[in-house]
Amino acid sequence: MILTVTLNPAVDEEYIVPELRPGGWIRAGKSSRTAGGKGINVSTLLAQFGFASTAMGFLAGFNGEYIRHALSTFRITTNFVHVPGETRTNVYIIDETGHVETGISEHGPEISPEAMERFRKVYSRILQRTRMVIMGGSLPPGAPEGIFGELVSLAREKGIPTVVDAAGPPLMAALDAGPTMVKIDHRFMSRVMGTSLTSLDNLIEVVSSLHGKGVEWAIASYRTYGDVFFSPAGIYLALADRKSVRSIFSASDALLAGLVIAREEGMSPEDSIRFSMASAWECSAHTGKGIRSREAVEEYLPLVELERLA
């Protein structure tokens, strides 16, 4: 079983407007409401590819019930801990004239020490039948900053590979525990390392240093439409064509989902990178979260520019 962990889920509301003009009323040309949060987004994408997963984390209030119902329509098994309050709402606005995307994110409900302990017990129990864990996103108030590191360590003790997509102190705690795959926020890492990661040389040096912590795969965004992949077979730069990009709302989640599927299907490192990038590219080529189909993703495979760096 593939397990996704989303400690701070959200109801994602996406609005497409002709032009975003602050200070007045704007009529959205199109809108959507979906269950969201890093792990939940990956679970939904896996379902679109035909892969089953179980989603867990914390849910609260009416938004929490909406998320549970939304996941059930994708036949995603859920095992969330319920807490008082209300699961957050995130608002995402796409300006079709200025080609600018704006997001507003809430904090989420407070997580008590008792709720955190219930989550740990559920997580430990589910690990008994899990073959991979995917975790990431922000932490809700009350959750310890080192929780991702703790979850990675528990899975690693049982020989279960882990995938992490996070930022800030939660990312650093996860890196210390040695996840199998990690998506790096290069802006945060630039601040931590005290050096700019806008150059490929600096980026390669930082990504390569993670190998000593047990990381098999590390991915860092390069500029806006590319990623650097540290893989078991070397370091690669993968690029997409920015002209076809309409929204990057959930492209990062599609990239991780593609890499997970590539691992599940035993693809070579180069094929894994191509499939991962093609998944992100297809997701970003239209508004709305997710992919249209696997066939649509595969159309982008020959278009991915791949260069071996080391």
Q: What is the pLDDT of residues 268-289, one digit of tens each?
A: 999 999 999 999 999 999 888 9
Lowest mean pLDDT among 32-41, 60-69, 176-185: 176-185
pLDDT, average across residues 15-40: 92
Determine, yes or no, domain membership for 189.
no
Amino acid 186: pLDDT:
62
Mapped to the 3 state alphabet, what secondary structure does 48-99 carry? HHCCCCEEEEEECHHHHHHHHHHHHHCCCEECCEECCCCCEEEEEEEECCCC
pLDDT tens for each residue of 110-140:
999 999 999 999 999 999 999 999 999 999 9
Determine, yes or no, domain membership for 301.
no
Determine, yes or no, domain membership for 178.
no
Lowest mean pLDDT among 102-111, 144-153, 180-189: 180-189
Percent of the chain with pLDDT over 70: 95
Distance, in Å, from the CA atom of 78 to the CA atom of 56, rounded to the nearest integer, reads: 6
Distance, in Å, from the CA atom of 279 to the CA atom of 89, rounded to the nearest integer, reads: 26
Residue 113 is part of a domain; what is its CATH number?
3.40.1190.20
Report which DSSP code applies to 302: G
Determine, yes or no, domain membership for 309.
no
Three-state SS for 167?
coil
User: CB atoms < 10 A from the CB of 35, how many?
Assistant: 30
Closest CA to 254 of 4, 48, 11: 48
* DSSP bridge partners of 235: 230
The single-letter code of the amino acid at 155 is A
Three-state SS for 110?
coil
Determine, yes or no, domain membership for 273.
no
The single-letter code of the amino acid at 294 is R
| Structural domain count, the chain | 1
Determine, yes or no, domain membership for 27.
yes
* DSSP bridge partners of 105: 90
Q: Are strands 181-184 and 217-222 parallel, antiparallel or unpaired?
A: parallel
Flag whether pLDDT at 190 surpasses 80. no
pLDDT tens for each residue of 208-219:
777 777 899 999
Determine, yes or no, domain membership for 207.
no
Q: What range defines the domain where residue 90 resides?
A: 1-41+56-137
Amino acid 189: pLDDT:
60
Amino acid 201: pLDDT:
74
Closest CA to 135 of 5, 232, 223, 29: 5
Distance, in Å, from the CA atom of 161 to the CA atom of 214, rounded to the nearest integer, reads: 11
What proportions of the chain, in percent to the nearest 5, are helix, strand and coil? 40, 25, 35
Determine, yes or no, domain membership for 86.
yes
pTM, two decimal places: 0.93
- Non-local CB neighbours of 124 within 8 Å, separated by 6+ positions: 154
For 129, the token pair is 């039948």
Provide the b/e sequence for 220-241 (b: ≥16 CB within 10 Å).
bbbeebbbbbbbeeebbbbbbe
Distance, in Å, from the CA atom of 243 to the CA atom of 225, rounded to the nearest integer, reads: 10
pLDDT, average across residues 7-21: 94
For 81, the token pair is 């801990």
DSSP 229-256: EEETTEEEEEE--GGG----TTHHHHHH
Average pLDDT, the chain: 91
